[in-house]
Amino acid sequence: MKRKVLSLILTTAMTAALLAGCGSSGGAAADGGDAGDSAAAQTEEAAPSSDDGAAAQEEGAAGGSHKLTAWAWDAGFNIPALQAAADDYKANVDPDFELEIVEQSQSEDIENAVTLAGSSGDYSTLPDIFLFQDHWIQRYVADYPDAFVDVADADVNWDDFSQEKLSYSTINGTHYGFPVDNGTVICAYRVDLLDQCGYTIDDLTGISWDDFIKIGQEVYDKTGKYLLSMDGDGNDLVYMMLQAEGVSQFKDGKPNIVNNEKLVEVVNKIIEMVQKNVLYLANDWNGYTNETIVGDMVAGVMNGNWIIPTIEQVAENSGKWEITSMPTLEGGEGYASNGGSSLYVSSNCQDPALAKAFLAYTFGGSTVTYDGALQNGGVITTCISAGKSDVYNQGVEYFNNTPIYADIVAMGANVPVVEQSDYHYTCRQYIAAAIINAINGADVMTELQAAEDQLNFEMGN
Q: 74 lies in a domain?
A: yes
Do 375 and 422 fall into the same domain? no
Which whole number is the average pLDDT over 66-79? 96
Do 179 and 192 fall into the same domain? no
322 vs 160: CA distance, rounded Å: 27
Do 224 and 278 fall into the same domain? yes
Q: Are 228 and 190 in contact (CB under 8 A)?
A: no
370 vs 380: CA distance, rounded Å: 7
Q: 408 lies in a domain?
A: no
pTM (predicted TM-score): 0.84
Structure confidence by residue, pLDDT tens digits, 357-401? 999 999 999 999 999 999 999 999 999 999 999 999 999 999 999
The mean pLDDT of the chain is 88
Residue 93: what pLDDT?
97
Q: 2 lies in a domain?
A: no
Do 234 and 155 fall into the same domain? no
pLDDT grade for 65, boundaries at 50, 70 and 90: confident
Total structural domains within the chain = 2
Least Cα distance to 429 among 220, 213, 257, 187 occurs for 257
Residue 34: what pLDDT?
32
- Phi, psi values for residue 328, rounded to 5°: -135, 170
Q: How far is CA 416 from CA 156, 341, 364, 421, in A?
A: 22, 18, 21, 15
Q: 243 lies in a domain?
A: yes
Count the residues in the chain: 461
Do 213 and 177 fall into the same domain? no
pLDDT grade for 61, boundaries at 50, 70 and 90: very low
Do 64 and 175 fall into the same domain? yes
CATH number at 323 reads 3.40.190.10
Do 171 and 193 fall into the same domain? no
Q: 412 lies in a domain?
A: no
Do 176 and 190 fall into the same domain? no
Query: Would you call 282 helix, strand, or coil by DSSP?
Result: strand
Do 81 and 102 fall into the same domain? yes
Q: How far is CA 435 from CA 185, 205, 220, 234, 448, in A?
A: 21, 26, 22, 11, 8
Q: 407 lies in a domain?
A: no
Domain holding 445, by residue range, is: 185-336+418-459
Residue 39: what pLDDT?
32
Do 154 and 278 fall into the same domain? no
Residue 339: what pLDDT?
87
Structure confidence by residue, pLDDT tens digits, 224-254? 999 999 999 999 999 999 999 999 999 999 9
Is the predicted pLDDT of residue 43 greater than 50, yes or no?
no
CA dihedral over 404, 365, 375, 298, signed as positive or negative: negative
Q: 400 lies in a domain?
A: no
Q: 30 lies in a domain?
A: yes
Do 138 and 44 fall into the same domain? yes
Q: Give the H or E element holding residue 303.
A: strand 300-304
Do 41 and 150 fall into the same domain? yes
425 vs 135: CA distance, rounded Å: 9
